[in-house]
Homo-oligomer: A and B are copies of this chain.
Amino acid sequence: MVDVSAKDVTVRTASAAGLVRCSGAVVDALRGDGVPKGDALAVARLAGIQAAKRTPDLVPLAHPVAVHAVEVDAVVVDEGVELTATVRTADRTGVEMEALTCVAVAGLALVDMVKALDREAVITDVRVTAKTGGRSGSWTRG
């Protein structure tokens, strides 16, 4: 693990996004009465928040970071569910991995909720979209 003990405690944020591509039947269910297993979008959001907090447990060389805020959205679109997350901290290193982990695990939870209806659901395009703070400053994906 890279040594971050000499870095400053500053406010840092990172945003990530991804898509769970699923069948029209699932999209219709999510826009209508929901899927039989429960509130898929709520479960995905909570799973993402909890996973953000567990990032250093999942990613072997990630530093423990004091996660100070997590926002997750799960929006039903025609091809599936768009997931976005923003994580914020006042700590010595960035939270890109926390934002990515949030989206990836929200995606896993969502697939679990819909897999009885669509065993072909795909988690795709999980990527960092923006960051602020830290030595390298702000960055937005082109």
By a beta-carbon cutoff of 8 Å, the part of chain A in contact with chain B is 1-6, 11, 18, 37-39, 42-43, 46-47, 49-51, 53-54, 56-64, 66-71, 88-92, 96-97, 100-101, 104-105, 107-109, 111-113, 115, 119-128, 139, 141
A-side interface mostly? mixed
B66 near A60 with CB under 8 A, answer no
> When A53-B64, A64-B53, A97-B111 are in contact, do A1 and B69 touch as well, CB less than 8 Å?
yes
Chain B residue numbers with a CB within 8 Å of A3 are 68-69, 88
B68 near A43 with CB under 8 A, answer no
| Least CB separation from A53: chain B residue | B56
B37 near A2 with CB under 8 A, answer yes
> When A1-B69, A2-B69, A120-B127 are in contact, do A61 and B37 touch as well, CB less than 8 Å?
yes
A141 near B123 with CB under 8 A, answer no
CB distance from A71 to the nearest CB of B (A): 8
Q: Taking each of A4, A59, A64, A66, which has the highest tally of chain B beta carbons within 10 Å of its own beta carbon?
A: A59
| Least CB separation from A12: chain B residue | B5
> When A51-B58, A59-B47, A64-B53 are in contact, do A126 and B123 touch as well, CB less than 8 Å?
yes
Chain B residue numbers with a CB within 8 Å of A38 are 61
